[in-house]
Structure 1
Amino acid sequence: MRSTDVLTDGFSRVAENVHAVLDGITPEQLAHRPTPDANTIAWLIWHLTRVQDAQIADVAGTDEVWTASGFYDRFALPFDTSASGYGQTPTEVGQVVVTDPSLLADYYDATHRVTAGYLADLSDDDLDRVVDKNWNPPVTLGVRIISILDDDAQHVGQAAYLRGLSTAG
């Protein structure tokens, strides 16, 4: 098994969990916030997808699915095209309003297809390529991809937890 096969499997697990969170979810659950400053499920799924999309596009040297496939326009969020959720305030989190969970699923699926295609074309040696010299030690492609996968796994877990909270009681 190649290292990239393991990475592909990891991203496939994120995809399964994204769909598990979104399956049968209501607009109210997507917007549920257990506290006024908490993230919503809609924001978490949007953010994890934006991070994956932007960072894979960066290392692959391709356009982001967000803009290239029209998702920026379909979501119609009040943010610049480069917004990915990093550093957003609770007010901005609340501005990620999605009433149709299929929009989130469609964006995630399109991003996942690009990610899987990119990983399929990599060799294990490619993972040693330095993609960011601003760190000590410099960040390799393999480390960057693991970072994206870890971030996605954490956020989809948070979304699953919020899904449970939104149906409790």
Structure 2
Amino acid sequence: MNSSHLLADAFDRVREEVHGAVDGLTEAELADRADDEANSVGWLVWHLTRVQDDHVTGVAGGEQVWTSQGWHDRFGLPFPAGATGYGDGPDEVAAVRAGAELLTGYFDAVHQRTLDYVRDLADADLDKVVDERWDPPVTLGVRLVSVISDDLQHAGQAAFLRGLLLRRR
């Protein structure tokens, strides 16, 4: 197995976790929060997808799926098109209301773009510096692993919240 296959497998695992956390929940359940300061399943999935879209587009080039495929308009959120959820407070979290089909549709579109990108990578590509604002500078490999790590953490949080929601049914 080469690095591109390993990355594709890791991103496929994120997809499994995202679908597992979202599928079968109502829009109200996806927006439900444990308290007024907590994240919801819907916000977590939207946020992890926005970050993946932003970061992968940042290294792959082109326009984010969010805007290029009309997801920003379909969601109709009261945020600028460039918003990813980073630093959102309770009011922004509460504003993310979307059904399971919309959330997984956007996630799947980003996932496909991500797979199309990582499947063409050679092992040597992963050493390319993509962000010099950090010390040490961030390589492509580190950036992609960071996205996977962040996605899996948020997908795990969403799965936990799903479990709480299902106990209340």
Q: Determine the C-alpha separation between the residues in 2 that align with 1:95 and 1:28.
A: 12
Counterpart in 2 of 1:121?
A: 120
**Shift of residue 22 of structure 1?**
1.6
Q: What is the TM-score of this pair, normalised by structure 1? A: 0.97
Q: Determine the C-alpha separation between the residues in 1 that align with 2:87 and 2:24.
A: 30
Counterpart in 1 of 2:29?
A: 29
Counterpart in 2 of 1:133?
A: 132
Q: Determine the C-alpha separation between the residues in 2 that align with 1:77 and 1:134.
A: 30
1:108 aligns with 2:107: yes
Counterpart in 2 of 1:5?
A: 5
The AA in structure 1 aligned to 2:114 is T
**Shift of residue 17 of structure 1?**
1.1
Unaligned runs of 5+ in 1: none
The AA in structure 2 aligned to 1:134 is R
After TM superposition, the structure 1 = structure 2 runs for residues 135-154 of structure 1, keeping only pairs within 5 Å, are 135-154=134-153
Unaligned runs of 5+ in 2: none
Matched position secondary structure for 2:165: helix
Matched position secondary structure for 2:147: helix
> Residues 50-105 of structure 1: CA distance to partner in whole angstroms, max 9, x if unpaired?
0000110010011100000000000000000000000111111100011x210001
Q: Determine the C-alpha separation between the residues in 2 that align with 1:136 and 1:50.
A: 25
RMSD: 0.7
> Residues 134-156 of structure 1: CA distance to partner in whole angstroms, max 9, x if unpaired?
11111000000000000000000
How many equivalent residue pairs?
Answer: 168
Matched position secondary structure for 1:9: helix
Q: Determine the C-alpha separation between the residues in 1 that align with 2:32 and 2:118.
A: 34
> Residues 2-60 of structure 1: CA distance to partner in whole angstroms, max 9, x if unpaired?
11211110100010111111221112210111111000011000000000001100100
Q: Determine the C-alpha separation between the residues in 1 that align with 2:109 and 2:158.
A: 19
Identity of counterpart residues, as a percentage? 52
Counterpart in 2 of 1:91?
A: 91
The AA in structure 1 aligned to 2:46 is W
The AA in structure 2 aligned to 1:131 is V
Q: Determine the C-alpha separation between the residues in 2 that align with 1:45 and 1:136.
A: 30
